[in-house]
Structure 1
């Protein structure tokens, strides 16, 4: 019973960071309708920028973290303005291929500059473990979840109560009507990409500071697609709930069935759920009339 509780707690805590990556994806899809396959590479790039500022330039970790987020935000503005906006109105597959190309460029650039070695960025959080009776919770896992929970809560409040958040929701729901109401949809698109990049950077820094930094970090986003599809590609709440579910299932599968089952069992669960709800747990059901 102790093992089950420990595996469950660790799975839910790791699911919190997974939710950040899923949130980065859903923000872009919900706000612009673009399936962004460069989520993992942007997350990886942000983590490398944090490492460069904190280790190469010997800046305090907090300062390095802020700089990395700022640079990624600027990068998102450049990409949105120079690559994605000119493709506005083109077939979705064209924009999707553009994000795949962007991912390849980022990945190649990172490997050209830093190589394929594994680095150890400084941690933003204390590593002191927490003991709850006989249950051990690593300090980094708990701290990562705390940051993810605070950031996700802030985003939910931002979209629910702030004027800018409401404008972003209106633009995502119906850009034509939003434009007629005076909302700057170009600014909304740009801000969406900035927020998504910033969230991805946070996730990348948290993961790399606890598990190491290498170009393989980008692959961490691939597992999140299961949570995105399960929760519903256009649902922020769905991405959060599904990420916690996937984290829980992964942890229990690894604990009881071995490490390889960690990569298989979650997708089996997702497949079974999607058979019943093909649009995801919280996704918008599309009705087509013929």
Structure 2
């Protein structure tokens, strides 16, 4: 029982990071109807920038953290203004392929500057485990889960009560109607990419403090995609719950297959098994909006 409790706790931590990255997917999709396949690479870039500032330049971690967030805002603005804005009005497949190309460029730049070997952050928190319900949990795991939950609460309040958040929701509902009401739709697009870049960088920094980082971190975007589909591409609540469900499912399924059948590596495919099942049963996800078209 303790073995599976440990798997569930680890899964919740990883799932909370999945939820953050899924939030970036959902925000961009809600505002622009574009699926950003460079989301994982944005996670990787944020993690490496914070690593470079903390380890290679010797800055305090908190300073590096906030400087990385500032860099992420600039990165999001550059991507939207320079790469995606000229594609407004073009076929959606063209925009999606541009994000695929952007993912390749970002990954190549990271490998050019930092190589492919694993990089490890210096310990930020104590390493002595904290016992919760008879299960030892590393303080970095608790901090990661708490930070993810806090950020989700902040973004939920932002979208529900702030003027900018309401404008983003209106743009996601109907771009033409929002523009007719005086909302700067192009500015909302830019803000969406900035938020997506920021939450991705935070997810990358959290993962870097837990497992270290390498160029394979960019694959996280593809691992998070089943969580987005599970929750619904246009649902913030779905992003949160989908990430947690996939994180727990991966860990528990992998632990079960190793313990019972001695089959390692099931973690890599468990999320995609769920993805196929969800697409067959509920193509719009658990909380996604079902679009009905009448002819």
TM-score range, shorter chain: over 0.9
Give the match for residue 225 of structure 1: 225
Q: Is the 8 A contact 1:128 1:139 kept in 2?
A: yes
Distance 1:122 1:194 in 2: 27
Q: Is the 8 A contact 2:38 2:221 kept in 1?
A: no
Q: CA RMSD in A?
A: 1.4
- The Cα offsets for residues 63-106 of structure 1, whole Å up to 9 and x where unpaired, read as 00111111121111111111101101110011011111111111
Residue in 2 aligned with 1:8? 8
Q: Distance in 2 between matches of 1:18 and 1:128?
A: 25
Give how far 1:255 is off.
Answer: 1.5
1:137 shift after superposition? 1.4
Per-residue CA deviations over 1:98-152 (Å, capped at 9, x if unaligned) read 1111111111111111111111123444433211253111222221111111001
Consecutive unaligned residues in structure 1, runs of 5 or more? none
| In 2: Cα distance, 1:123 partner to 1:93 partner | 43
Are the counterparts in 1 of residues 69 and 198 from structure 2 also a CA contact under 8 Å?
Answer: yes
Q: Give the whole-Å Cα distance in 1 for the aligned partners of 2:11 and 2:43.
A: 21
Query: Across the two proteins, how many residue pairs are aligned to each other?
Result: 290
Q: Pick closer, same or farther for the CA change 1:123–1:191 going to 2, 3 Å.
A: farther
Identify the residue that residue 76 of structure 2 maps to in structure 1: 76
Structure 2 residue runs of 5 or longer lacking an equivalent are 259-263
- 2:277 corresponds in structure 1 to 272
Partner residue in 1 for 2:291? 286
* Matched residue, 1:239: 239
Deviation at 1:240, TM superposition (A): 0.8
Equivalent residue, structure 2, for 1:122: 122
